[in-house]
Chains A and B, each alone.
Chain A
Amino acid sequence: MIAVKDVKRIYKTGETEVNALRGVSLNIEKGEFMSIAGPSGSGKTTLLNLIGCIDKMDEGEISIKDVAVSKMKKKEKTNFRRENLGFIFQTYNLIPVLTAYENVAFVLSLLNLGEKEIKDRTMAILKEVGLQGMEHRRPGKLSGGQQQRVAIARALIKNPEIVLADEPTANLDSDTGKEILGLMKQMNEKHKTTFIFSTHDKMVMDYASRLVMLHDGQIQSDRKRRE
């Protein structure tokens, strides 16, 4: 489903060049629950950003569902992300002036769906992530775990085939982190959505059915866990 082929990414800061990715190749199948792990600076966020079509690579190729996304123009990438990808961020990135309901529904409004459909789907997904009755609360009135549930609902509402999560539990305590991972796993199994998440937390790695370890911008190991 996702083919990453010899991808290189170099960041330039003045005269200094940092090789964030030094020729990474991997294939990801539909429905995988995959973790990209590694220490800080290993390139896991860069790889996630490249798969998520929000960054440009210097060399290599990425194709998703046989579409060479790395060759797409900016506008095409925006459309592709809108229709096919969901994102979960470490700091949730909810819009503070919108309610939980509005934060989730906004993704569907980008797809120009009718109001009734938006309402039905939003209420359903909020119920699914355990936020029934909290639809009208603003992020400031929700706990960190609840905010991340809103973010998960926001990522899943458009039924994307791929959800990318950058350190989704890094801002949560371990119990809440487990809850969130459990929820993500549940969604992965229920909707067959491919989840790719970055982490450097051992507990989070244990949840993944496939673990790709990065070190200095290269794949150190790629292991699938037997269920």
Chain B
Amino acid sequence: MATLTTHPDCVTVVSYRFGKGAAEIERYIQLGGYESARKALALGPDGIISEMKASNLRGRGGAGFPTGLKWSFVPKQSTKPKYVLVNGDESEPGTCKDRLIFEQDPHSVIEGTIIAALSVQAKMGFIYLRGEYRYLLQIAERAVAQAYTKGFLGKNIFGSGTDFDIVTQTGAGAYEVGEESALMESLEGKRGIPRIRPPFPAVVGLYGGPTIINNAETIATVPHIFRIGGAEYAKLGTERNGGTRLFCLSGHVERPGVYELPMGYNLKKMIYEVGGGIPNGKKLKAVVPGGASTPALTADEIDIGMDFDQVGKAGSMLGSGGVVVLDETTCMVEFALRTMKFYAHESCGWCIPCREGTDWLKKSLTRLHEGGAVDKDIDNIRYLAENMLGRTFCPLGDAAAMPTIAFVQKFRKEFEDHLEGRGCPYHRAPEPEPALV
């Protein structure tokens, strides 16, 4: 069971129906469910988009693009069918929020998908979960079947004369597929290799048709916007950063957990008050504010509001809401290496700067961590990472490069401490591999 953790500062918008048995459609309806879809039907496409714009909802997958604006890019007239694609391929290290949404409130995703479809008159939607989330697929499939039985999906939904179908499926293990164009490739039964843009998915997307693609949390938020009103939702957050979001606190905190907090909530308070501070009286060293791909902040940089603009101003990104806390005992070189091992493993190999860059960075960081590096290697790591930036079809190359640059820049002393055969000052003795049996 993935459950929400609460704190007096928490607000309940997306989590409004969590822990209330709302995976059952009858209970969901009792709690006001599917009323938002009816409201959206009455509003029509233009009305839906203006409500979405008023909400200041920005994409929860990481980039923070305004959702209403994204939907408005889908052309009204299209010779090809239009689609809605829900990205539940949650794989960004540090992020585990979608599990709560699908486990406790799958109908909010279905209802949000319906509303997105109504805004662009799409007739088909897909909910794509990561392969590891098989149990969530089962919950989602059941919820979709219930929605069909009620007439909320299928032919003539809500008696409106409009048809809309949803297909649910999982991937099979690939971080890269969380990127929108790779996701479309995967859904078309191919290797998840990114597509070049433009054209953007809103114009040429899934099966060549105009496509709305949003993160599962973004879509799950949509019915709540219509429940409380776009302007009211916007007020919960900060300027241009409407509402709330599910923050996933992990790492060295007393009370890790997924918390729903207003956009712009102070990061220092999030760690010390909501999360209960650092265990065992240790000091804070760094915070990765929005999943593994976002540049780390030092302990002195955390007195900021957690919204897209303020974290951006601090030189990092709000990302996917995965706040990873590192105490003073963490070796930053080891942390940088583990991060890079991940990107080297996940790079799809399509773009050379990412494929080669992540692998060389992994090798360089390994050598540094093991004590075999020379002074020049530190600058080389940074140089290599800087040369990956902006040179790939999709943001995976940037996602690997950006945190690495920040690690070198902000924790250079720790990198230097590993030089000249000294090896890791923090490192435990490596475990011998057991003999093959």
- A and B assemble together: no
Q: Chain B interface (Cβ within 8 Å of chain A)?
A: none
